Amino acid sequence: MNMRKKSVFALTSIVLASLSLVSPAWAKSMTGHSQTANVAYAGSLQLVMDQQVGPSFAKKTGDTYQGRGGGSFGVAHLIASKEITPNVMISMGYAPIQSLEPKFTSYGIGFASSPLVIAYSASSPFAKSLNLIKEHKKPLSALFTLMEKTNFHLGRTNPVTDPQGQAFLWMVQLATKVWHLPANTVTKITGSVENPKQIFSEESILSLLQAGQLDASSAFLSEAIARHFNYIALPGSINMGDPTFQKQYETATVKLPSGKVVHGTSLNLVITALHGEPDPSAGVAFMNDVLSPLGKAAFAKEGFRLIKPIIYGNRTAIPTSTRSLLAR
């Protein structure tokens, strides 16, 4: 080998060796091999996804992060109709992901939960009473009596498109049993299942609350913490966020306008990588990042309760790298 070739070979070796020592993000920027993690997620995750988890993933890996939030069932419908083509989905509950099986995925991994709370506006004319309930100076049952009032402006999400909307209706049903409230309590609080005076999108409902246009609304604990809302915590027996109460949750039902009856369930965050979409390896890499100790820590910081991973669907379809991560 002549001196010129030796010099080129040595320089190439140095560059390759250097790339192995620098961050994956810098290396990808040099090699042009960046991919895109296109993530569809439950709308309640917007802040933690777009401000923490997504940017952190992009910085660590050099891949691009794109996120889109919405009601989990609504997002699943957009995926099924190919109006959007994400390579990862994080839903509230397994049912939205299950609706995509087997064409887009065949498994889901539950890794965290977030209890349902009642967030309320500090400027509400009912704020004084709500504060007393929050501070345990009035019984929690008084909350439901308050929400029955015709001049109480309550917000909730659509149970047809969003699991949180179903969870709120299940919660009120369970509360009537726990505190032996009148049989018509659910109807007096919510009206019809799709009461247009109460139904708002998951992305807009808390903005309306913040603007003082609502007295209170359903919310997940993580949302209330992230947005610094006043909120009333609910016990595990009715907050739909404690898997140990699963049997009790199942006693609550919601009949949707389609006629379908949906039974109560613990609402866990469930993630899956979607196959057949652009950059599937970036989807798996993002899923693994979320399920890593640092990824889960970001969710815990925002008020999510980490749980032992729950495998839904076909365990053998989970990528080997993900199964290795779960086994640690």
What predicted TM-score, i.e. pTM, was given to this entire model?
Answer: 0.80
Is position 14 within any domain?
no
Residues 92 and 124 in one domain: no
What's the burial of 47, exposed, middle or buried (CB within 10 Å: 0-12/13-18/19+)?
middle
- Does the residue 8 lie in any domain? no
Residues 166 and 291 in one domain: no
Q: What is the mean pLDDT of the chain?
A: 89
The verdict on 69 and 192 lying in the same domain is: no
Residues 103-124: b if buried by 16+ CB within 10 A, e if exposed: ebbbbbbbbbbbbbbbbbbeeb
Q: How confident is the model over 133-180, as pLDDT tens digits?
A: 999 999 999 999 999 999 999 999 999 989 999 999 999 999 999 999
Q: What is the pLDDT of residue 184?
A: 94
Is pLDDT above 70 for 97? yes
Check whether residue 246 and residue 127 sit in a common domain: yes
Residue 66: burial class (beta carbons within 10 Å; 0-12, 13-18, 19+): middle
Q: Per the structure, how many domains does the chain have?
A: 2
Verify that 259 and 120 share a domain, yes or no.
yes
Residues 164 and 256 in one domain: yes
Domain for residue 3, yes or no? no
235 DSSP β-pair partners: none
| DSSP β-bridge partners for residue 47 | none
pLDDT in tens, 25-54: 444 444 456 799 999 999 889 889 999 999
Instruction: Examine residue 16 and state whether it is found in any structural domain, yes or no.
Output: no
pLDDT of residue 1: 52
Percent of the chain clearing pLDDT 90 (strictly above): 77
Banded model confidence at residue 275, pLDDT cuts 50, 70, 90: confident
Task: Give the structural domain span for 319.
Answer: 21-114+267-326
- The answer to whether residues 214 and 93 belong to one domain is no
Do both 61 and 153 map to the same domain? Answer: no
- CATH code of the domain containing 291: 3.40.190.10
Where is the domain boundary, 243, 263, 283? 263
